[in-house]
Chains A and B, each alone.
Chain A
């Protein structure tokens, strides 16, 4: 792989789907900016697709000093083979020191394959990145054992240093429309025969729900709800607050609610303004996904439930009484506010 000192710059994989940049990319640009400053290097975005030139401006406004674009009709839809070849060839050519990916279903498919091809290390699902002040190496911290343990991982002798980063954890870049950047068209050596999979359809679930990562208010339920019916009142509270409904793994595993609603280590990481934990005991794997919320309100009939250890406000009581009263109270509050 040559001399590791030949590797420069911080790259962010600018994941796009159907021409829309995935929101985690802006978080990576926010974090990448800090890392580029500390390593005295440039922050670059790497964009793959077909007819995606127009997205470069948005990446530059969010802090990318260079945008590499790999474009081809063969790259219109994400395929592991096509995107791996485009990115791995460019890594070998341009030699970035650090490459960051969002730990999305696409990022977690692409990054390990690229890492294996360019023969470097990859740290999965990082929740914290730092630059060691002496050696300027990337310190990548991630949860393991269901969030029971945190590990800081380094990649001392291989380049690039690569991480997938959990969505919803890092702060977004500050957008500046005056930013200027350079656009570099990447030469591709890609043939249709390189791509062994065919994406025949992309189906979106019809759910007019605020996504968990974007929601300001999340009302989450666990096994303490007693039955799938309990989620009805949580949906009602979510409607009042324009929020969305989340769930613990226990409630998802019980089949009470879709896995898309799951918050936690194996679900979505969230940091809403207010997180309501209703009948959730507070297993570490759940806390790993919600403990960064601005305010946590826990409601549980068991005063010893571990969720109260992380809650800002705790209410010991029966959910079937507390939640309806919260619904009424927030309705009244909204009505008062509308009058004022």
Chain B
């Protein structure tokens, strides 16, 4: 069984700060990490590799050359191979154009029974690239996967809903997007780290892929960023002072006075 995992290197958004003067994002010094849902996607692939014979796991990422580090982390966790898609021509793409590049690369990389992706990346939070890759490969998708069972070429998954889940059966080939409830990603091990740096991670550019240049990158993207801005902070509220009893008393008085309760 051949499994491909789509992974993205993202800034750790918990650490992103706003420049209070310029009102822009400060990305310098913010660490880059393997997108958390993608780590769950990789773990799901590695669990299948642990349980069955003849499973290969390939990780594919589109990003700047620095994403090589993240791909080696995936190799150190246990992936067999990694491929980096990196070319200025791919850059600035929205989800439609990104999925064109990635689906072309997947076709070029071989035949895969299962393609895993994270539900969404923490920098954009769109959750769109996974389904759009599936559409362009002409294969079914199941998103928000929180449980997987495999029996031959039939895969049974639980698809998370807001108030429960759906049990879904699907045959390979299929694209599944992982949520964090699916599993706990493993750590890299020492041998894995050693091996990861002895492997070659090929870098594919636009020339390496059978793809129409008119369908990729910023220029081909149907959506454009019109403007970006930092959210307005709300006006200052009231700090309640005094003893605990006075504070709670003042709170109740205010809520009653303003007819909130």
Residues of A within 8 A of B (CB): 77-78, 80-81, 84, 104-106, 108-109, 111-113, 115-117, 119-125, 139, 143-158, 196-205, 207, 211, 259-260, 265-266, 273-274, 283-285, 288, 291, 294-297, 303, 308-317, 321-322, 325-326, 329, 333
Contacts and interface: CB of A to CB of B under 8 A. Distances in A.
A201 B167 contact: yes
A17 B25 CA distance: 40
B223 to A, nearest CB: 4
A125 B124 CA distance: 10
B255 A295 contact: yes
B217 interface: no
19 contacts: A77-B166, A80-B131, A116-B131, A122-B223, A125-B126, A148-B18, A151-B227, A151-B228, A154-B224, A197-B169, A200-B156, A203-B166, A285-B14, A313-B240, A313-B251, A314-B238, A329-B249, A329-B252, A333-B252
A120 B239 CA distance: 49
Chain A to chain B: the 6 pairs with minimum beta-carbon distance, closest first: A121-B222, A146-B13, A121-B223, A196-B140, A116-B135, A112-B128
B21 interface: no
Interface residues of B, number: 77
A112 B237 contact: no
Interface stretch (B83-91, B93-101, B194-202): B93-101
Contacts of A145: 11, 13, 16, 25, 123
B237 A125 contact: no
Interface of B: 11, 13-14, 16-18, 25, 94-96, 99, 122-132, 134-136, 139-144, 156, 159-171, 174, 180-181, 221-231, 233-234, 236-240, 244-245, 247-249, 251-252, 254-255, 260-261
B132 A112 contact: yes
Contact of A148 (B13, B124, B143, B167): B13
Given A148-B25, A151-B227, A315-B247, A109 B141 contact: yes
Contacts of B142: 80, 197
A327 to B, nearest CB: 10
